[in-house]
Amino acid sequence: MTEQFRIERPIFDPATGMARFSYGLDGLNFTETLGLPDGADATAAQSPAFRKLLDLTAVVLGVSYFKLRAPFEIAAPAIPLTEAERAFAIDVYENGLGEFYARNNLMRFGKLTISAPDDAEATKPAPALPNRTLLPIGGGKDSLVSVDLLVHAGVEFTPFAVNPKGPILTSVEKIGTQPVYVTRTLDAEMIRLGKEPGYYNGHVPSTAINSMIAALCALLYGYNQIVLSNERSASEGNVTFDGRETNHQYSKSLGFELLIASILSDATGERSNISRCCGPIRKRGSLRSSPMRPSSTTCFRAATAISGLMAMTARCGAGNARNVTSFS
C-alpha cells in the first residue's frame, strides 16, 4: 500500500479557546493544539469563514508531521478545498519545504498529490471586521522596523506572537500594547521520531504557519489587517535543487505573500488583508534602520506609503487581500 499523509478535520472549542489538529502517517497518529486567548467573538467562531480558516490552518500546520516521511500522497477526506486551495496546499508542501527536500535529497517537486472533497463555494461569508491591524512579532529587528513605521504612520496595532519567549516578550513589553498570544503545542511523539533513524527532520515554513494562526485570531478578535515584517531579500532563493530554485525563507517571499493573501481573502469574503511592511529593506538595511529611527529615509517613505494605504482602506471599508501592498 502506498504511504499516505492524512489530515483530519480540526476541532475548535469556543468555551476553552482550544483548537485540536490531528494527523495520520504510516499507522502513526499525531495531535497538536493551539491555545487561543479569551475574548473571541462567538459569532465569528461559528461563521463559515472561520471554519474555512480552521481547515486551511490544519493543512498548513500538517507540514511538521508530513516531513517525518514526506510521502507523495496527501489526503484530507473531511476538508473541502477549492482548486485554488489545492494549489495553495501543494505550494506549501513543495516550495515551503524546499530547503528540507534539498538537505535530505528528496525529489518531491511536481510529484505531490492531495485528495480532498471539492468545495464549489470559492468565497465564504464572514462577519464585518473593524479597521484594526495585527502585527506578528518575531523578536528580530525586522518586526521592530515595522513597529517604527506603523507608529510614525499613526496606525494603531496589536502585537501578535505564537509561543512568545525571550526577545519577543522583551519587544512586546517595550511596545506597551496588550498583545494577542497563542500557545502552540506540538505532538511529543513527532518531536521524538524526528531524531530517530528512518525519519526525516528539517526546516518547515514557519511564517506560513504563523500567518495562518494570525488569520484565525484576526477573525476571532476583530482585525481586518495583518502586517508582516518580510524584508526584500526573503524573496531570493539560496540553492537550486531538483530543477527548482529553493528558498529557506520561501514563506516570507513576496510570491507566497500574494498567494496566501488571495487565499485568505476568499476564505473571509474579502474582509481580511495581509501585507508586508519591510519590503524595501534588505537584511543589512533593516539592521541600519532599526529600531526606532524615524530619521531613516526608507522608514519615512514606507511610513508615508502605509499611511496612504490605511487611509484608502478606511475609505473603502474592509481591506481586500487581492490588493496587497508590498514595499518591495
Contact between 231 and 142 under an 8 Å Cβ cutoff? The reply is yes
- Residue 328 covered by a domain: no
Query: What pLDDT, on the 0 to 100 scale, is given for residue 195?
Result: 95
- For 110: left if phi > 0, alpha if psi spans -120 to 50, otherwise beta; the answer is left
Is residue 220 scored above 50 in pLDDT? yes
Half-sphere exposure of 117 (CA within 13 A, CB side): 10
pLDDT at position 276: 63
pLDDT attached to residue 249: 80
Residue 255: domain span: 4-323
Bond preceding residue 291 cis, omega within 30 of 0: yes
To the question of pTM greater than 0.95 for the whole model, the response is no
Residue 280 lies in a domain: yes
What mean pLDDT is reported for the chain? 83
In a domain, 10, yes or no: yes
Q: Per this entry, what is the length of the chain? A: 328
Nearest to 70 by CA among 35, 14, 112: 112
Burial (CB count within 10 angstroms: exposed 0-12, middle 13-18, buried 19+), residue 233: middle
Confidence of residue 324 (pLDDT cuts 50, 70, 90): very low
Does a structural domain hold residue 114? yes
240-286 confidence digits (pLDDT tens): 887 887 777 888 888 899 999 999 999 998 777 777 665 443 444 43
Instruction: For the chain, give the percent of residues with pLDDT over 90.
Output: 61
User: Is residue 297 scored above 90 in pLDDT?
Assistant: no
Give the three-state DSSP class for 282.
Answer: coil
Beta-strand pair 28-35/18-25: antiparallel
Instruction: Give the DSSP letter string of 227-276.
Output: EE---GGGGS--EEETTEEE-TTGGGSHHHHHHHHHHHHHHTTT--EEEE
User: How does pLDDT run across 14-61, given as a tens digit for each residue?
Assistant: 999 999 999 999 899 999 999 999 999 999 999 999 999 999 999 999
Gyration radius of the chain over CA positions: 19
Whether 320 shows a pLDDT value over 60: the answer reads no
Helices (H), 153-253: 167-175, 188-193, 206-221
Nearest to residue 247, comparing CAs of 258, 263, 234, 265? 234
Identify the CA nearest to 114 among candidates 143, 145, 140, 77.
Answer: 77
Domain contains 222: yes
Q: Is 57 helix (H, G, I), strand (E, B) or coil?
A: helix
pLDDT at 323 over 80: no
Percentage of residues of the chain with pLDDT beyond 70: 80
Distance CA 275, CA 322 (A): 10
> If DSSP codes are grouped into helix, strand and coil, which group holds residue 126?
coil
Of 135, 138, 151, 154, the closest CA to residue 218 belongs to: 135
Report the distance separating Cα 55 and Cα 80, nearest Å.
8
Mean pLDDT of 170-184: 93
Residue 306 pLDDT exceeds 60 = no
Contact, 257 vs 88, CB < 8 A? no
pLDDT digits (tens, 9 = 90+) for 85-104: 999 999 999 999 999 999 99
Domain count, the chain: 1
Lowest-confidence region among 60-74, 158-172, 203-217, 221-235: 221-235
Q: What is the pLDDT of residue 284?
A: 40
pLDDT the model gives residue 215: 95
Which residues are registered as beta bridge partners of 240? 245
Query: How would residue 105 be classed by pLDDT, with cut points 50, 70 and 90?
Result: very high
